[in-house]
Amino acid sequence: MPHTFDSLIANTLADAGNYLQRFASEQSKQNTVARAAQLMISTLQQGGSIYSCGNGGSMSDAMHFAEELTGRYRDDRAPLSATAISDSGHISCVANDFGYEHVFSRYLQARGRRGDCLLAISTSGRSANVIRAAEQARLNGMVVVSLTGAPGSPLASLVDVDISTGPSDYADRIQEVHIKVIHILIELIERSFYPENYSG
């Protein structure tokens, strides 16, 4: 392996570790994750559903979040109600007929109900279609959790809880901590409903 690759790999891992450590060292960040998890748990306890959305890598994260709840995370248990807004037929239809900024909000207009929850994911906190989704969710009487990067984004101002992982020059650093937060949220939800799946 070229020596330059060794340096790049080491530096990249160190940078990623430093970004995660900054997030982990702030108690306020941990508190927002706990509050978000409690909102999601309450949604499911009351018979509601959790929706998730995002663009690009954030859509992949939204899908990952939903499939871990409806499928299996660590051990077998009954499915939990979650849906990622990722249907290509819906997205291409709405984008073509109404504009891409409406692809998530129109889905929620059709299906979101009072008492449901939206997980809105945007590394910048400025994605127009994710912001519209949050606005529509509020109109529906849903609770909204956002997963963003730098604090104080336009999306953060619309939600009940904003989990901002911190500013970064690159979206991939933010996304790396987003997936860690998503796994923590899933575990907290699962522990609440199926504590027998965990020994500690």
CATH number of the structural domain spanning residue 67: 3.40.50.10490
At 87 the three-state DSSP class reads coil
pLDDT of the residue at 4: 80
Residues 34 and 32: their CA atoms lie apart, in Å, by 5
Residues 150 and 167: their CA atoms lie apart, in Å, by 4
Cα 175 to Cα 14, 16, 47, 136: the distances in Å are 16, 10, 30, 25
- Residue 196 amino acid letter: E
Question: What phi and psi, each to the nearest 5 degrees, are found at residue 84?
Answer: -90, 135
Average pLDDT over residues 79-104: 98
Residues 122 and 125: their CA atoms lie apart, in Å, by 5
Q: Please choose, from the candidates 173, 60, 79, the residue with its C-alpha nearest in 3D space to the C-alpha of residue 121.
A: 60
Q: Which helix (H) or strand (E) holds 89?
A: helix 88-97
pLDDT, tens digit, for every residue of 128-154?
A: 999 999 999 999 999 999 999 999 999
Average pLDDT over residues 98-119: 98
Question: What phi and psi, each to the nearest 5 degrees, are found at residue 192?
Answer: -70, -40
pLDDT of the residue at 121: 98
Are residues 95 and 74 in contact, defined by beta-carbon separation less than 8 angstroms? no
Tokens of 13: 């891992």
pLDDT of the residue at 192: 97
The domain of 169 spans 3-197
Confidence (pTM) = 0.95
Tokens of 112: 């979101």
pLDDT of the residue at 133: 98
Rounded percentage of the chain residues whose pLDDT exceeds 90 = 96
Q: Please choose, from the candidates 88, 54, 99, 65, the residue with its C-alpha nearest in 3D space to the C-alpha of residue 181.
A: 65
Number of domain units in the chain: 1
- For 142, residues 6+ apart whose C-beta sits below 8 A from its C-beta are 51, 108, 112, 113, 114, 115, 116, 117, 118
Are residues 54 and 120 in contact, defined by beta-carbon separation less than 8 angstroms? yes
The tally of CA atoms less than 13 A away on the side-chain side of residue 107 is 25
Average pLDDT over residues 81-90: 98
